Structure 1
Amino acid sequence: MKQNRDKIEIRHFHPFCGSGCGAKGFNRGHARIGKLQAVFRCLGGVDSNPAAIADFKRLTGVPGTVLDLFSREQYEAFHGHPPPADWREATAADIQQAAGHERPHIVFLSAPCKGFSGLLSQAKSTTPKYQALNALTLRGVWLTLEAFKDDPPELILFENVPRIATRGRILLDQIQALLSSYGYAVAETTHDCGELGGLAQSRKRFLMVARHQEKVPAFLYEPTKRPLAAVGGILGRMPLPGDPGAGPMHRVPRLQWKTWVRLAFVEAGRDWRSLNRLAVEDGHLRDYLIVPDMHAGTYGVRDWNQSVGTITGNARPVTGAFSVADPRYAGQDYGTFGVVDWSGSTGVVTGQRSPGQGRFSVADPRPPRGPLFSKYAVTPWTANTGTVIGGDDAGAYAVSDPRPTMQRGKGDHYLTGGHYGVVPWTASTGAVSASACHDNGHWSVADPRGLAEQALEGEYLPAATDRLVAMIQSLDGTWHRPFTTLELAALQGLMDPEEQLELDGLSDIAWRERIGNAVPPPAAQAIASMMAETLLLAWSGQTFVLSATPVWVRPVAAALSLPGGPAHG
C-alpha cells in the first residue's frame, strides 16, 4: 500500500478483462474515511481477444495482456482441434507478469458467461464446447489465487450472469471451497447494474464476494436508493443517429425495407406481436398507406379559388400541391375505383374495365373458398383442421399453440417474445447483450426527435429486400429505428452521451459483442467505491461504522459483512 499524506493507493487487477470497461469504472472509484482518501490504480488485465486488449489500453491507459487461460484439454474441447505448436498453458507466473509483478488489493473477475446465459439453449450449454468455456471460471480463480498466494488480495469479486447460480452450481461450489481454503469468507449475491450506475437499462448480475478474513473485518451499512434512467435521457444528449461527426459507431444499420415497415408499425413498448392487430389482405395493409415524403404538400390539392405555387419541371401530384378541387364536374360520377354493392347493378361495361376506370369491382359477401384462400391459415388450438393432404403448405396446417413461453426473458423462448421490440423514449431497456440486434430483442427505440426529410430516387417505394436507412413516421409520430452501436455503448455507460468512443476494428458485430460483454463502468465505479471504503476502514483500524451506502450496493455490503459459512441457501 502506497500512502501520500492522506491519499492511499488501491491497486486492482482484472482477469477476463474484456475491453476494460470494468477496470475503467474501478479507476473512477472514490472513498473517504476521515482524512483518508482512496486513489485507484489499475495493474492490468488479461483476455484472449487481441481487439479487447487494444480497447483495454484505450479505456484504462494501462497495457493489457493477451493470454489464453484454457487448459489444453479445455482448448481442444472448445475449439474442436489441438492448439498450435507455439501455444502453451498459462501459469500463475503469467498472471503475476500481467499484473506487472505487483500485488493487487482487489481482483475483479468477469469470466465468459455465454455458457451460463439464458440466451443459449439448455441443450447447447451442456455440450463439451460450452462446458469447457464454463470451466474457465474455476481455472481463472485458481490461477489468480496461486499467483498471489504469498500475499493474498484483500477482496476478490467474481461477476457473471444470474443463471450461473443454477447452470453453474457445481462450479460455484468448487470455487467457494477453493476460496475458503485460501482464507476467504465467501458470499453470493445479485445486483442490478442499472441501479448501481444509474443506467437506462436493467442489467441483473450475479456477484460472488470473497473477503480475506485476516485482512478485512466486517462492517455495517445504512442504505438509500437510486432509480433507473430513461433511454431518452441518454440518447437525447447525443447527436442524431447517422451524424458523420459522431463517428462510424453511430451509423444507422442498413435494414431491409420490409424490416423498416415492420418496425414502424410495432407499438412502442411492444414487439412483433403487436403487428397481429393490423388488418392484412392479400399481403398488403388494408387500413394504411405508406408514401414517400419527398416534398411538403405531396398529393396536395389546391382550392378552385387559390393560386398555385411555382410550377416546376416535375410538377405532379406526388411532388407537391399540383392537384385542384375542380367544381365543374361535381354532378358526374366517373366511379374511379368504384365498388358496386352485391345487390346493385353496374354501369355500362366498356372496353376499359380496370378498377381505376369505373365501378368494376364488387363487394362479394360470400366466404372465400378453395385451397388458395386457406393457404397459411392458422387453426385455433381448440378447433379441428381440414383434410390433411400431400401439399402441406396449401391448407390450414399451422396452429396457434398457447404452450410456449412467449414473454421476453423467460426460458429459452425469449427470442420469440422480443423480435422487433421497440422501447419507448421514456422507458429503460433490458440488459444490453452481446448479440443485441433489431430482430432478437427490444433493441429499437421510438425516437421523437424531428424526422428529417429524405430524398428518394424516383417516385416509388423500395423493394421489400432493398437494404437502406429509412425514416418512416410511425403511428405514434416517432421514428422506430434500431439503436446504433454508439447508443448501446452509452446505455452501457461506456462513455458519457456527449463524448465519442472508438473501439478497435471496424465491425459493428464485433463492437456490439464486446459492448454487450462489458461490465458497465458506472456500476463498477459504485462497487469499487464501496470496496475502497471497506479497505480504508480496515486499514484505519475501525471495526464499526454507520454510513450512507446506497441500497443498490447493500447486497454487496452485506456480503462483505458475513464472517464466513455457507455462500448460498
Structure 2
Amino acid sequence: MKLAPIVKTFFCLFGAIGGGALGFKDSHVNVGGLDGHWECLGSVDVDPAANRDFARLVGTRATDMDLMDREQYVAYHGHEPPPGWREATPDDIRRAAGFRRPNAVFLSAPCKGFSGLLSQAKSLTAKYQALNRLTLRGVWLTLEAWADDPPELILFENVPRLATRGRALLDQISAMLRAYGYAVAETTHDCGELGGLAQSRKRFLLVARHIAKVPNLLYEPPRRPLRAVGDVLSKMPLPGDLTAGPMHRVPQLSWKTWVRLAFVEAGKDWRSLNRLAVEDGVLRDYLIVPAMHNGGLGVRRWEDSTGVVAGQSLPMNGTFSVADVRFQQRALWRDGQAYGVRRWEDSTGAIAGQQGPGQGSYSVADPRHTGPAKHSNEFRIVRWSGSAMAVTSAHGTGQALADPRPAWDGRHGHLHVAGFEDTSRTVTAGGKGVQGGHLSVADPRPTAQGRLFTKYPVAGWGGSSGTVIAGDDCGAYAVADPRTSMSPDRAAYLTGGHLGVVPWSSSCGAVSAAACHDNGRWSVADPRVCDLVQVAAMPAANDRLVAHILAEDNTWHRPFTTLELAALQSLFDPEDPIEAAAFQLDGTSDQAWRERIGNAVPRASARAIADEMLRTLMLADAGETFQLSAAPVWVRPVAAALMLAQGEEVCHG
C-alpha cells in the first residue's frame, strides 16, 4: 500500500515572476519512505505584469498589492497616493493566501536601495530609504498575519550589501523574529553553487526557524561547481531562430558597438580595446570587410534538392534560385517576343487583334527625332546663332532660345552684391529683398565687431566672455570646460565590466535586472555559425542592426538574448524544446522582460533550498530531532536553540 505524499505549503511576499516559487514546486524529497512536495498558496507583488507572469508560470494566483505604508509611499513617489489606495494589512496577506496558513514564507524584497550598483549617497535619499523599509514592513506583515499560528520557516533573500547598508533594518528584523519565537541565522551564498548554474550570483539569506515547531536542525544545501555558459546556451536554438519566439531575438545594436564587441577579447571587457592602435580615427592593423555568404546568388540544378528555406530567402543571401528546364509560352505570347522592338529596316509580324507592346513585337526603333511636321516646334530650343521657326498661333511651341547673356542684367541688378567701396544703386519701391536690386554688400569687416549679437558662441576656457546682457537667448553663455565630473581613476567605471565578453567555456556573472551589453559582461564569444543577412556596404556608425562579425578568436561576440538570460536563471529547461518555446513573459518590451528576469530568484537555487526545508519539516513531523549531516547548519544548533527558548520562557514568565 502506497502512502499518501506529504504536502507542505508556502507563500511568497514580493514574489515577482515566480522564480523562487517554481523552485519550491520542483522540490521533491523522500524521508523514511514518504514522499513530500510543496504547494503554493499564492504571492503578493506591486507589479501587475510580474503577477500575470507568476500566475502563468507557477499556476497560482498572485495578488496586486502595494505593501508600503502612506509615509513610505509619499517618500518614494513624491506625491500622495491616488484615491482608493490604502495601506496593506495582515488581513490582506491572509486573504492573498486564501486564508490558509503556510508552512514556509519566502520573501525577496526590493534590493535597489542596498545594491552596490547604486551610489552610497543616492542610497541615503528619502526615496530609497523608503524602499529599503519594505524589508521590515514585509516581515512584520507576515508575522502579524499568522501570529496565532506562525509559519515553521521564514526565508528572507536579498543582496549581500544588505548586511552593511541595511544593518539597522536587519537588526530590527532579527529582533522581531526572535520576539515571535524564531531562531535566526544570517548567511551569504552563491546561487550558482547551490543550483549548479552557469552564473555566479552572490546573495544574502536570512533563515528563521520557529523553535517550538521545528526543534531539529536546518542544514545548508550542498554546493556544486559552476557550469560553463556554453553548457546552457548550446542546448538552445541559435539566437534569432523564429521557433524560439520573440524573446530569443538578437538585440539591435549600433554598428560601432558591434565593432567594439568584436575586438573585446573573450573573458575581458572594454579595457581590452586599449591595446588597439588607432590612427586618424580608424584601426591601423585591422580591416573589416563584408563576408560572402555560402551560395550567394546561387542557382540550384533542377534535379538537386534545395537548402533550408530561411525566414528571408532571397537570391542575394543563398542558393534560392533554380535552373527551370520547363518553358511554356503563354497563348498571348505565341511568337515569344513580348515587348519586342522591330528594327527600322525589318518587317513586322502579323497584325493581330491585340496589339499592345506586352503582347508581341509591336514596337519599333524609330531613327527619326523631329516627329511630324506640324509638331516640329514642340519644346524646341533655338541656338543663339540660328534662325527661329515660323511664328504660329500656338503659344506653347517653338518659342525657346539658348541665350548666352547673363540671366540678370545690370539694369535691375537682381541678386547683385555691391562692393564695399562702391556706391549703391537707387533704392526703389520694389526693393523688398536681396533679389530685388543692389541690396547686398560685400562687407570686409570681421564678425567680431558684432560680438554682442553673436548667437550661441562657445567661449574658450582661456578667453573672456562677452558682455552679460538681459537677453537670455544670445551672447557668450557657453564655455568649453576642460574639467569633468568623473574622478581621474574612474574606479567605479573600471570595475563595471562594461562591454565585457564572456568565454563560451566560462560562467557568467549574476543576471541583474539592468543586464545590457554595455553595463557589464553581458556578451558571449559564441563559436557557432549563425547565418544572418549581411549588406554589401559597411553600415554607418550609428546604424542599428544585427551584425555577425567574426572576432580574432573566430567566434561571434554577441549580447545574450532575453531568453538566454532566462535560461541562465534556470527559469526553464533549455534541453526541453517545448518548454523553451512555451516560455514567454507578459508584454512585448525586452527591457521590461530583462528587468523581471534579473529580479527573479534562480529556479534551481530555490529548489536546493526548498529541498532542505522540506526535509527538515518532514523530520520534525516524524519526531526526528537528530540528523547526521556533514553540511553546515544554517540556524542555531538544536541544543542551544532549546536553551534559548527555555531562557526566553523564563524571562517572559
TM over 0.5: yes
1:528 matched residue in structure 2: 610
1:323 matched residue in structure 2: none
1:494 matched residue in structure 2: 571
1:543 matched residue in structure 2: 625
Match of 2:593 among 488, 508, 511: 511
2:153 matched residue in structure 1: 155
What's the offset of the Cα at 1:48?
0.4
Q: Residues of 2 paired with 1:400 and 1:158: CA distance? A: 37
Q: Residues of 1 paired with 2:549 and 2:540: CA distance? A: 15
Structure 1 residues 272 and 211, CA gap change in structure 2 (3 angstroms): same
1:478 matched residue in structure 2: 555
Structure 1 residues 451 and 558, CA gap change in structure 2 (3 angstroms): farther
Q: Residues of 2 paired with 1:152 and 1:252: CA distance? A: 47
2:497 matched residue in structure 1: 418
Structure 1 residues 388 and 506, CA gap change in structure 2 (3 angstroms): closer
Structure 1 residues 256 and 223, CA gap change in structure 2 (3 angstroms): closer
Structure 1 residues 240 and 515, CA gap change in structure 2 (3 angstroms): same
Structure 1 residues 280 and 518, CA gap change in structure 2 (3 angstroms): same
- AA at the equivalent of 1:538: A
**Cα deviation digits, residues 196-242 of structure 1 (max 9, x gap):** 11100000100111100000013386985410010000000000000
Q: Residues of 2 paired with 1:519 and 1:235: CA distance? A: 19
What's the offset of the Cα at 1:142?
0.3
Q: Indicate if the aligned counterparts of 1:438 and 1:482 stay in contact, CA closer than 8 A.
A: yes
- AA at the equivalent of 1:527: I
Q: Residues of 1 paired with 2:628 and 2:230: CA distance? A: 36
Match status 1:23 vs 2:21: yes
1:345 matched residue in structure 2: none
**Cα deviation digits, residues 245-286 of structure 1 (max 9, x gap):** 100000000000000000000000000000000000011000
1:83 matched residue in structure 2: 81
Match of 1:55 among 53, 57, 76: 53
2:11 matched residue in structure 1: 13
Match of 1:289 among 287, 290, 301: 287
Moved more, 271-280 or 6-15: 6-15
Q: Residues of 2 paired with 1:45 and 1:68: CA distance? A: 12
Q: Residues of 2 paired with 1:89 and 1:213: CA distance? A: 31
1:441 matched residue in structure 2: 520
Structure 1 residues 555 and 495, CA gap change in structure 2 (3 angstroms): farther
Q: Residues of 2 paired with 1:535 and 1:209: CA distance? A: 14
- AA at the equivalent of 1:517: N
**Cα deviation digits, residues 145-168 of structure 1 (max 9, x gap):** 000011100000000000000000
What's the offset of the Cα at 1:414?
5.2
Q: Residues of 1 paired with 2:54 and 2:486: CA distance? A: 49
Q: Spell out the pairing of 1:110-509 with structure 2 (5 A cutoff).
A: 110-219=108-217, 225-295=223-293, 389=462, 403-405=489-491, 413=492, 417-452=496-531, 454-456=533-535, 459-498=536-575, 499-500=580-581, 501-509=583-591
- AA at the equivalent of 1:65: T
Q: Indicate if the aligned counterparts of 1:218 and 1:560 stay in contact, CA closer than 8 A.
A: yes
- AA at the equivalent of 1:477: N
Q: Indicate if the aligned counterparts of 1:12 and 1:106 stay in contact, CA closer than 8 A.
A: yes
Q: Residues of 2 paired with 1:399 and 1:120: CA distance? A: 17
- AA at the equivalent of 2:187: T
Structure 1 residues 9 and 130, CA gap change in structure 2 (3 angstroms): same
Q: Residues of 2 paired with 1:169 and 1:85: CA distance? A: 35
Secondary structure of the structure 2 residue equivalent to 1:563: helix
Q: Residues of 1 paired with 2:22 and 2:220: CA distance? A: 27
Q: Indicate if the aligned counterparts of 2:503 and 2:525 stay in contact, CA closer than 8 A.
A: yes
What's the offset of the Cα at 1:393?
11
Q: Residues of 2 paired with 1:221 and 1:171: CA distance? A: 25
Considering only CA atoms, is the larger Rg found in Structure 1 or Structure 2?
2
Give % identity. Answer: 65
Q: Residues of 2 paired with 1:282 and 1:96: CA distance? A: 68
Moved more, 211-220 or 422-431: 211-220
2:376 matched residue in structure 1: none
Moved more, 33-42 or 242-251: 33-42
Structure 1 residues 62 and 396, CA gap change in structure 2 (3 angstroms): closer
Q: Residues of 2 paired with 1:290 and 1:162: CA distance? A: 44
What's the offset of the Cα at 1:460?
1.8
- AA at the equivalent of 1:515: I
Q: Residues of 2 paired with 1:212 and 1:503: CA distance? A: 36
**Cα deviation digits, residues 273-314 of structure 1 (max 9, x gap):** 00000000011000000001135699xxxxxxxxxxxxxx99
**Cα deviation digits, residues 21-53 of structure 1 (max 9, x gap):** 101110111222112221210000000000000
2:356 matched residue in structure 1: none
- AA at the equivalent of 1:92: P
Q: Residues of 1 paired with 2:50 and 2:105: CA distance? A: 19
What's the offset of the Cα at 1:403?
4.0
Q: Residues of 2 paired with 1:395 and 1:94: CA distance? A: 56
What's the offset of the Cα at 1:508?
0.5
Q: Residues of 2 paired with 1:291 and 1:208: CA distance? A: 55
Q: Residues of 2 paired with 1:396 and 1:81: CA distance? A: 39
1:380 matched residue in structure 2: none
What's the offset of the Cα at 1:395?
12
The number of residue pairs the alignment matches comes to 464
Q: Residues of 2 paired with 1:555 and 1:543: CA distance? A: 14
What's the offset of the Cα at 1:545?
1.4
Structure 1 residues 179 and 221, CA gap change in structure 2 (3 angstroms): closer
What's the offset of the Cα at 1:558?
6.7
Q: Indicate if the aligned counterparts of 1:223 and 1:548 stay in contact, CA closer than 8 A.
A: no
Q: Residues of 1 paired with 2:630 and 2:7: CA distance? A: 23
Q: Residues of 2 paired with 1:264 and 1:186: CA distance? A: 49
> Which TM-score applies when normalising by structure 1?
0.77
- AA at the equivalent of 1:434: A
1:379 matched residue in structure 2: none
Name the Cα RMSD after superposition.
2.8
Gaps of 5+ in 2: 297-314, 317-459, 465-477, 646-653
Q: Residues of 2 paired with 1:37 and 1:460: CA distance? A: 63
Structure 1 residues 394 and 13, CA gap change in structure 2 (3 angstroms): closer
Secondary structure of the structure 1 residue equivalent to 2:142: helix
1:304 matched residue in structure 2: none
